[in-house]
């Protein structure tokens, strides 16, 4: 190579380097600094920049912008988690039957104080059979009108009314059990959506990085400073990224449909979520069984079932009280007033004797059975509280462990891998490295970010289960 060829080659090399530098500055935007030279308002490469709605680390080379427009982008209003839970509490059809059943129990209780309908009868009294000779007009008998009324024992009625009213309290407590399950499902869908939104931001950043790599490879290839395989490799990674974006958008649509279903809204109704929301960390100590009993609706329902069965026992004990009956009969003689036969009446009061052995056997058996059921429910209640307390203690241990892992990802793992990627990118800009090495560094960073989001999703699911057990 003569001096003229050497000069031309050096001139072209400087032009290529200037093109690469201009492309890099255009991509980074506004003269963003390299590692070690952070400009004011930007984090240093060794620091983790955390979004208010995400714990994902951002490097000095992260860019502003978003993924290409997709049909899944929220176009409606933004719903906070509290508003979603409030709409579920108000509109979910699975919660409606409990109010109707409670109202039905109260209606039955109102009927417990009613009396039986009176009985009215019409017939004959001491009348001879047909075709018999009547010696005296007095022997023709009487026509009789009879009225009979049962008078229930008011103590029995009150006991039955209290028993029916206790069933309404059981139904109202059952609503809390279903509501807790629906709230847990809604929180899970909402938190999964939060993680998916963070993943979309990571994918948007990855798209910008891969586009930069492909542009650099396209510029270098005509000047024999890169291979065609590097261009295709960067292009293939972009196509793979498109598939991940499609999957993420589809998952977001599924979460939106699930939340709309829980809120009893049209499944196609579009809305967004509050991406700045961060769940409260579980830092409280293990609750006692008494604290669990005060907050858990299934324990409350069991307590009310026990009270209802105790009211049923009292209603059965009231069966030992007697009932009353009054009967009035009026007799009018068939012979008429000429026979000088007086009109007659009968007034009778009756009382039941429920304490006789053949009658008391039934309610005594009912009382004994209910007492055994109450004993079984108390044992079951104690077992549920002990099991729940143990589960909560295990969940708190797991949550603290996952919190430590996430903190390690945010403070050490992701920033270190981002430094490695930035270093390889700078070396590639200066013709000291190859594109496959840069792509490998990016893939390592990308996989770590995805692992972090997976662990974050697991953490949110554990937190939802923990809050479900405590009904927070």
Cβ-based neighbours of 278, under 8 Å, separated by 6 or more: 53
Over the chain (472 residues), what is each successive 10-residue block's mean pLDDT?
A: 44 50 46 36 34 34 34 65 93 92 89 88 87 77 91 90 90 91 94 94 87 75 63 80 91 94 92 88 79 88 92 90 92 75 88 88 91 93 92 91 92 92 83 80 90 94 91 82
From start to end of 251-387, where are the E strands? 272-273, 324-333, 344-351
Positive/negative CA dihedral, 251, 256, 257, 261: positive
Alpha-helical regions (H) of 221-272: 228-262
Helical (H) or strand (E) element with 150: strand 142-151
pTM given for the model:
0.74
Q: Give the pLDDT confidence score for residue 416 in this predicted structure.
A: 93
At residue 422, the pLDDT reads: 87
Tell me the CA distances in angstroms from 336 to 3, 122, 126, 128, one per residue in order: 157, 18, 15, 16
Cβ neighbours for 321, distance < 8 A, ≥ 6 positions apart: 153, 155, 156, 354
Structure confidence by residue, pLDDT tens digits, 83-125: 999 999 999 999 999 989 999 988 888 888 888 899 999 998 8
CB count in 10 Å sphere of residue 220: 20
- The residue among 126, 81, 144 whose CA lies nearest residue 327 is 144
How many CB atoms within 10 Å of residue 350?
Answer: 13
Cβ density class 411-423: b for 16+ within 10 Å, e for less: eebbbebbbebbb
**Residues 363 and 316 sit within 8 Å (Cβ to Cβ):** yes
Q: How far apart are CA 167 and CA 169, in angstroms?
A: 5
Q: Which residues pair with 147 in a beta bridge?
A: 120, 328
Q: Which one, of 19, 464, 459, lies nearest residue 225 by Cα?
A: 19
Cα 104 from chain centre:
27
Q: What end-to-end distance do the CA atoms of the chain give, in Å?
A: 79
Say how far apart CA 33 and CA 245 lie, in whole Å.
29
DSSP letter for each residue of 334-347? TT-GGGTPPPEEEE
C-alpha closest to that of 62 among 50, 52, 74, 73:
50
Residue 289: closest CA among 148, 190, 438, 391: 391
Spatial separation of the C-alpha atoms in residues 441 and 438, rounded to whole Å: 5
Q: Compute the distance between CA of residue 327 and CA of residue 330 in angstroms, rounded to an integer.
A: 10
Other CB atoms within 10 Å distance of the CB of residue 56: 22
Please tell me the distance from the alpha carbon of residue 363 to that of residue 321, in angstroms, as a whole number: 12
* Surface-to-core class of residue 139, CB atoms within 10 Å of its CB (0-12 exposed, 13-18 middle, 19+ buried): middle
Q: How many Å apart are CA 414 and CA 302, to the nearest integer?
A: 49
Q: Dihedral of the CA atoms 373, 378, 379, 382 (nearest 10)?
A: 160
Edge to edge, the sheet with strand 344-351 lists 119-125, 142-151, 324-333, 344-351
CA distance 55 to 296: 32
pLDDT for 57: 33
CA distance 243 to 220: 28
Residue pair 452/56 in contact (Cβ under 8 Å)? The answer is yes
* DSSP tag of 124: E
d(CA 225, CA 202): 30
């Amino acid at each position: 190579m003569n001096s003229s060829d050497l000069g031309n080659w050096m001139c072209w090399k400087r032009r290529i380097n200037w093109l690469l530098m201009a492309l890099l500055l255009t991509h980074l935007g506004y003269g963003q600094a390299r590692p070690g030279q952070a400009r004011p308002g930007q984090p240093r490469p060794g620091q983790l920049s955390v979004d208010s709605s995400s714990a994902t680390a951002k490097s000095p080379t992260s860019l502003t912008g978003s993924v290409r427009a997709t049909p899944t982008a929220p176009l409606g209003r933004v719903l906070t988690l509290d508003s979603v839970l409030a709409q579920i509490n108000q509109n979910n059809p699975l919660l409606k039957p409990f109010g109707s059943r409670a109202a039905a129990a109260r209606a039955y209780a109102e009927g417990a104080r009613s009396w039986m309908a009176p009985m009215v009868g019409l017939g004959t009294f001491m009348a001879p059979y047909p075709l018999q000779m009547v010696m005296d007009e007095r022997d023709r008998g009487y026509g009789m009108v009879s009225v009979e009324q049962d008078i229930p024992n008011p103590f029995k009625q009150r006991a039955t009314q209290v028993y029916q009213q206790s069933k309404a309290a059981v139904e109202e407590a059952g609503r809390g059990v279903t509501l807790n399950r629906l709230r847990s499902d809604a929180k899970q869908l909402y938190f999964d959506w939060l993680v998916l939104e963070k993943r979309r931001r990571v994918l948007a950043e990855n798209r910008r990085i891969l586009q930069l790599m492909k542009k650099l490879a396209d510029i270098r290839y005509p000047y024999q400073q890169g291979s065609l395989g590097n261009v295709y490799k960067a292009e293939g990674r972009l196509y793979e990224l498109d598939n991940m974006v499609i999957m993420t958008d589809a998952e977001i649509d599924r979460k939106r449909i699930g939340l709309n279903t829980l809120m009893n809204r049209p499944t196609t109704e579009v809305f967004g979520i509050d991406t700045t929301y961060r769940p409260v960390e579980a830092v409280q100590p293990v609750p006692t069984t008494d604290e669990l009993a005060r907050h858990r609706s299934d324990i409350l329902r069991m307590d009310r079932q026990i009270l209802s069965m105790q009211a049923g026992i009292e209603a059965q004990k009231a069966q030992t009280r007697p009932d009353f009956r009054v009967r009035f009969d009026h007799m009018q003689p068939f012979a008429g007033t000429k026979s000088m036969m007086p009109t007659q009446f009968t007034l009778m009061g009756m009382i039941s004797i429920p304490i006789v052995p053949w009658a008391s056997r039934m309610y005594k058996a009912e009382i004994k059975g209910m007492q055994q059921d109450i004993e079984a429910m108390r044992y079951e209640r104690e077992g549920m509280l002990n099991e729940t307390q143990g589960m909560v203690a295990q969940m708190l241990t797991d949550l603290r462990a996952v919190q430590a892992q996430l903190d390690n990802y945010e403070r050490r793992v992701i920033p270190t891998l981002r430094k490695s990627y930035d270093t390889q990118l700078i070396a590639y800009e200066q013709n000291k490295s190859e594109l496959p090495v840069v792509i490998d560094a990016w893939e390592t960073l990308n996989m770590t970010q995805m692992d972090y989001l997976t662990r974050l999703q697991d953490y949110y699911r554990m937190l939802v289960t923990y809050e479900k057990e405590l009904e927070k």
